[in-house]
Amino acid sequence: MKYLFAGVVAALSLVLVLGENKAGDGKPKHTIAEVMAKAMKGGLCKKCASGEATEAEKKELVELFTSLSQNEPPKGDLKDWKKRTGALLDAAKKIAAGDEKAGKALGAAANCAACHKAHKG
Ligand code: HEC
């Protein structure tokens, strides 16, 4: 059991490292504007937060927020950006995994005005 756990931790760290590398490459699949149009303005994020989204929509949100966190904002501190987008991605992943309670966290993380003030050019 202990070894299994160590294996899982190792695998997760690898995923994290690979994810970091990908972010470093600066090649996110979607631009910030695309993510905003689909997930935010388009209402996908809200739908997932309120528990009305389909499995496919939940997965799409995870993908969009993955790209969001890989992008660099036009303005503001990159650390703060990673924190904000990380919270969005984290909540979206939990929802995709069936954790309905994460809807609240997603709603709180999707603070349009706060993030725009800090990072929108
Ligand atoms: C994690 C930070 C963050 C959050 C949360 C966020 N936005 Fe944005 N948004 C941005 C940034 C950064 C830009 C500027 C993108 C650019 O200039 O490339 C932007 C731009 C936009 C745009 C303009 C897109 C375009 O075509 O240039 C719209 C519309 C928008 N956001 C809507 C929303 C709405 C609605 C919400 C809340 C439900 C929201 N955003 C939440 C970061 C955020």
* pLDDT tens by residue, 29-87: 999 999 999 999 999 999 999 999 999 999 999 999 999 999 999 999 999 999 999 99
Q: Tell me: pLDDT of 13 over 80.
A: no
- Ligand 1 binding site (Cβ under 6 Å of any ligand atom): 32-33, 36, 40-41, 73-74, 84-85, 88, 110-112, 115-116, 119-121
User: Which of 30, 31, 36 most suits a substitution to test ligand 1, by most atoms within 8 Å of the C-beta?
Assistant: 36
User: Which of 31, 35, 38, 40 most suits a substitution to test ligand 1, by most atoms within 8 Å of the C-beta?
Assistant: 40
- Residue 82 burial by Cβ neighbours in a 10 Å radius (0-12, 13-18, 19+): middle
- pLDDT-derived band at 27, boundaries 50, 70, 90: confident
Phi, psi of 47, deg, nearest 5: -60, -40
